[in-house]
Amino acid sequence: MKSIYHNLTLFFPFLFPCLFWMDGQLLGSPVSTSFFQREEGRIAFFKMGNGKRNLILLPGLGDRKESYFELSLLLAKENSVYSFDLRGLGESDVSFSSYGPKETAEDVLAFIREKDLQNVYIIANSMTAASAVYIRSKEKNRVHGLLLSGPFVRDKEPLSLGMKTLIHLAFRGPWGPSAWASFYESLFPVHPPKDIKERSEKLKMNLKEDGRMAAVRSMMFASKKECEMVLPLASGNVIVVMGTKDPDFDSPQEEADWIANTLNGSIKLYEDAGHYPFVEDPSRFSNDVQLLWQKK
């Protein structure tokens, strides 16, 4: 999120003239989608594999469950893998009254309890790292480990009124989805995937649907305070994965060190990777996920 707040001005001057010329078609999901009913709406997910371990994959802010597809294929060989859309995004409903890391955690907690899942491991990216921490703090008997990728688990300096206004302008209106797609591409500063344009196009088309950009804006300003407060309750068997070129952090190494020390975890640094190491190197990422149970 740091690059949204501090680098957004780099996009703003030239963004608006070209946004209305960007268009595309949302391609279908490679696997069938299921839905989990919550009081205010449905949460979309897909399941792959049928193993004794239950892996829950949570995408970052603005992203979709399909971004985990390559990783899911690898992990599903020996595990049951559930990849989720956040409320308001992907194929989940936009009928919810609030959005944020705690809300995501509550959705997943309800899923784990209703399905009576045991031997659970959570892989989370960006904002949903805070969600994973909250989930584990409430269900440590079920959730045995966390892998946090490009993680945000705490609130830092508050945004100025001017920056809040700028963010609202950039991500509101008909240009909002294209602005987000451009921002998404910037999070692969060194080694973007070969299908980066297709990925960002799918994100853009999804965010053009009514209510989805509003959900993104709500998540951007949502507090992580309640998740941060329970960090001590989620410690142990935690792996922090950080790309050394992740533009969302002033110092990726420093933030990874703080999170690992706080959660009594270990660190895996991906040289020259950005904010989505599981997209840039799914094979290595899959091997790192497996360390959660291989070390036990």
Print the SS3 string covering the chain: CHHHHHHHHHHHHHHHHHHCCCCCCCCCCCCCCEEEEECCEEEEEEEECCCCEEEEEECCCCCCHHHHHHHHHHHCCCEEEEEECCCCCCCCCCCCCCCCHHHHHHHHHHHHHHHCCCCEEEEEECCHHHHHHHHHHHCCCCEEEEEEECCCCCCCCCCCHHHHHHHHHHCCCCCHHHHHHHHHHHCCCCCCCCCHHHHHHHHHHHHCCCCHHHHHHHHHCCCCHHHHHCHHHHCCCEEEEEECCCCCCCCHHHHHHHHHHHCCCEEEEECCCCCCHHHHCHHHHHHHHHHHHHCC
Residue 88 backbone zone (phi > 0: left; psi -120 to 50: alpha; other: beta): left
Question: How many CA atoms are closer than 13 Å to the CA of 29, on its beta-carbon side?
Answer: 20
Q: Which residues pair with 175 in a beta bridge?
A: none
Distance CA 234, CA 269 (A): 21
Q: Quick one: pLDDT at residue 295?
A: 66
Q: Quick one: pLDDT at residue 193?
A: 95
Residue 90 belongs to domain spanning: 2-294
Q: Quick one: pLDDT at residue 183?
A: 93
Nearest CA to 107 among 123, 88, 80, 81?
Answer: 88
Distance CA 83, CA 155 (A): 26
Q: Quick one: pLDDT at residue 211?
A: 95
Tens digits of pLDDT across the chain (296 residues): 555 544 444 444 334 333 333 332 233 445 799 999 999 999 999 999 999 999 999 999 999 999 999 999 999 999 999 999 999 999 999 999 999 999 999 999 999 999 999 999 999 999 999 999 999 999 999 999 999 999 999 998 665 666 666 666 767 778 889 999 999 999 999 999 999 999 999 999 999 999 999 999 999 989 999 999 999 999 999 999 999 999 999 999 999 999 999 999 999 999 999 999 999 999 999 999 999 999 65
Judge whether 133 and 154 are in contact, CB under 8 Å. no
Neighbours of 89 (CB within 10 A): 27
Q: Quick one: pLDDT at residue 170?
A: 67
- Number of domains into which the chain is organized: 1
CATH code, 71: 3.40.50.1820
